[in-house]
Structure 1
Amino acid sequence: MATAAEVETEEETEMMKMVKLGSYDGKVRLLIVSGDSESESAAEETMLLWGIQQPTLSKPNAFVAQSSLNLRIDACGHSLSILQSPSSLGTPGVTGSVMWDSGVVLGKFLEHAVDSGMLLLHGKKIVELGSGCGLVGCIAALLGAQVILTDLPDRLRLLKKNIENNLRHGDLRGSAVVTELTWGDDPDQDLIQPLPDYVLGSDVIYSEGAVGDLLDTLLQLCGTQTTIFLAGELRNDSVLEYFLEAAMKDFVIGRVEQTQWHPDYCSPRVVVYILVKKLEK
């Protein structure tokens, strides 16, 4: 049986893992604590997620229908209609032609965090990576942010159409523009001058081969005052572990627990992380 001192130490350790990161006012669970290595912490995190959330046993796509030509969702007092291209989904490497649960979860999380006073997006510069169909960027613009949505050149047509269709409102508080960005390449100056307040990404951790370029781009886009929100589908534990281990070298990472998500948009198949760039030594 643990002594009172041991119990107190365990409780203190657990409390130390809950911290505020970046510009998000809620507390997140820190992925690495003193004494752990990046590899140990990444392995522990993936085992924990697959043990507790059991994503492989969950029904996929709770909030989207990828066979449909559009997704309708209410956000920020507006009814959004997001066009999809299901026929493109069979093309190898193309996932941005349809919506995934992680995008819906991230968009509604941002809305809930702003409504709860945990996050301020009005007037802030946001760069979204792998914007796909554009739902997250649309919601961020409706919340008052100045959003630059990015994706590969062949994905921009559908993205632009969704931005035009959904952000025509006369009461739009923010703005949204679309530009191409290939991870690993030097970003255009408008992306980094000035550096963004926030970087967003949903379903961007999908293969080990893309992790290096993704992290290179995050390092180029982010200063120490930039807060990154990444939401991901829990498909492959080894890919997630590989990303986390590599990312911990340059970023402090915290997981947002589902109690802080939008109460109507939670899924055991999705995880939300906050990353903040480490100070240079």
Structure 2
Amino acid sequence: MAGEEEEEVMVELSSFKLPLCPVVDASEDILLLWALGRPHLTLPNAFVCQASQSLRFDACGHTLTIWQAPSAFNKPGVTGAVMWDSAVIMGMFLEHCHDSQVFNMRGKRCVELGAGCGFVGCVAALLGAEVTLTDLPGRLRQLQKNITENTTHLGSQLLARVEELAWGEELDKRLTSPPPDFILASDVVYSEDIVDELLCTLQSLCGSSSTVILAAELRNDSILEYFLELSLKDFLVWRVPQSQWHSEFRSQRVAIYIMTKTRSQKSEDG
């Protein structure tokens, strides 16, 4: 996407080592994404069909069936009833990184925020992680259905459970003791109203060795800029260049970010 005009540096975290683009200024990163990538010229939903009751994806040597609720998608504020490109791209990014030995998720503790239909969490579980998929009460039934049916189909190979979580509220100790190795989220930056609560939850979940992987749909530049601006106060933020994504699952309408707590935040945690 960015070519020679973007700086890439090799970043070594507790979880993996990868060439990344440092984000030091939110407005500058947004300018790069929209001016160079021009997401508005790329058609949305390249990898999903939001009118279908179910979608099938080949991931990690298995076929996952993901049930959607297209009728619920018409309700104001409901986005998790159907799949989005960012979830597919992020799930395949995890598989690609695992296959490329960038990181190993086997035995790692993962929490997915705003899990929606649950595809990303299912892929993480297929890679051997112990995953807690979270969302609001209205989305849990569909989410649990996807976890249960895929677990049954795969012979109980998925170590995954579903739990209610409202951003900004006190977290269950099971999520933070010990802190997760990975915090996963796709298409969670969709409204300026939820940014503060989302970041509050990220701060509470993250330990000194936690890594946040977040995929964003590029719909509204001001909302994503606001999220990045606030994130930079407490987190180190990098954008993953598309050269590091799965070669068959790329889109100019999606960005993937890696985040870890700053040293000052880690020191405050103890």
Deviation at 1:274, TM superposition (A): 0.1
Judged with a 3 Å threshold, the aligned counterparts in structure 2 of structure 1 residues 206 and 22 are, in CA distance, closer, same or farther, namely: farther
Displacement, 1:100? 0.1
- SS where residue 51 of structure 1 aligns? helix
1:96 matches 2:59: no
Instruction: Find the counterpart in structure 2 of residue 144 from structure 1.
Output: 128
Alpha carbons 1:18, 1:30 under 8 Å: kept: no
- Kindly indicate whether residue 3 of structure 2 is the aligned counterpart of residue 19 of structure 1: no
Identical positions, percent: 53
Of 144, 156, 170 in structure 1, the residue corresponding to residue 155 of structure 2 is 170
- Deviations for 1:215-261, whole angstroms, at most 9, x for unmatched residues? 00000000120000000100000001000000000000000011111
What is the aligned counterpart of 2:44 among 60, 66, 69?
A: 60
1:254 to 1:21, Cα distance in 2 relative to 1, 3 A = farther
Superposed CA offset, 1:71-130 (max 9, x none): 111001111110000001111110000000000000000000000000110000000000
Q: Give the secondary structure class of the aligned counterpart of 1:85.
A: coil
1:41-52 equivalence runs, <5 A: 41-52=25-36
User: Could you list the per-position Cα deviations for residues 52-72 of structure 1 after superposition, in whole angstroms to 9, with x for gaps in the alignment?
Assistant: 111111100000000111111
Distance 1:63 1:21 in 2: 30
The answer to whether the aligner puts 1:81 opposite 2:73 as a matched pair is no
Give the deviation of 1:171 after TM superposition: 6.9
- Normalising by structure 2, report the TM-score: 0.93
Distance 1:108 1:151 in 2: 21
CA 1:232–1:119: 2 relative to 1, 3 Å? same
Give aligned pairs, total. Answer: 260
1:31 and 2:31 aligned: no
Distance 2:215 2:222 in 1: 17
Contact (CA 8 Å) 1:105, 1:265: kept in 2 or not?
yes
Change (3 A) 1:176 1:138: same
TM-score norm. by structure 1 comes to 0.90
Q: How does 1:96-245 map to 2 (within 5 A)?
A: 96-168=80-152, 169-170=154-155, 172=157, 174-245=158-229
**CA, structure 1 residues 85+171, in 2 after alignment: closer, same or farther (shift >3 Å)?**
closer
1:22-42 alpha-carbon deviations (Å, 9 max, x no partner): 41321211111xxxxxxxx10
2:145, 2:7 → 1: CA distance? 46
- Consecutive unaligned residues of structure 2, counting only runs of 5 or more, are none
Cα offsets for 1:183-227 (capped at 9, x unmatched)? 000011111111100000000011111000000000000012000
SS in 1 for 2:233: coil
Alignment equivalent of 1:273, drawn from 243, 257, 262: 257
SS at match of 2:17: coil
Q: Distance in 2 between matches of 1:257 and 1:81?
A: 29
After superposition, what is the alpha-carbon deviation per residue over 1:126-157, rounded to whole angstroms, capped at 9, x for unaligned?
A: 00000000000000000000000000011000
- Give the distance between the partners of 2:145 and 2:41, measured in 1 at CA: 35
* Cα distance in 1 for residues equivalent to 2:180 and 2:88: 22
Q: Which residue of 2 aligns with 1:37?
A: none
Query: In the superposition, relative to structure 1, how do residues 14 and 156 fare at CA in structure 2: closer, same or farther (>3 Å)?
Result: closer
User: Segments of 4+ in structure 1 off by > 2 A?
Assistant: 17-22
Q: Using the TM superposition, give the Cα deviation of residue 19 of structure 1 relative to its aligned residue in structure 2, in angstroms.
A: 2.8
1:18 is displaced (CA, Å) by 4.6
Q: How well do the aligned residues superpose, as a CA RMSD in angstroms? A: 1.5
CA distance in 2, matches of 1:27, 1:251: 18
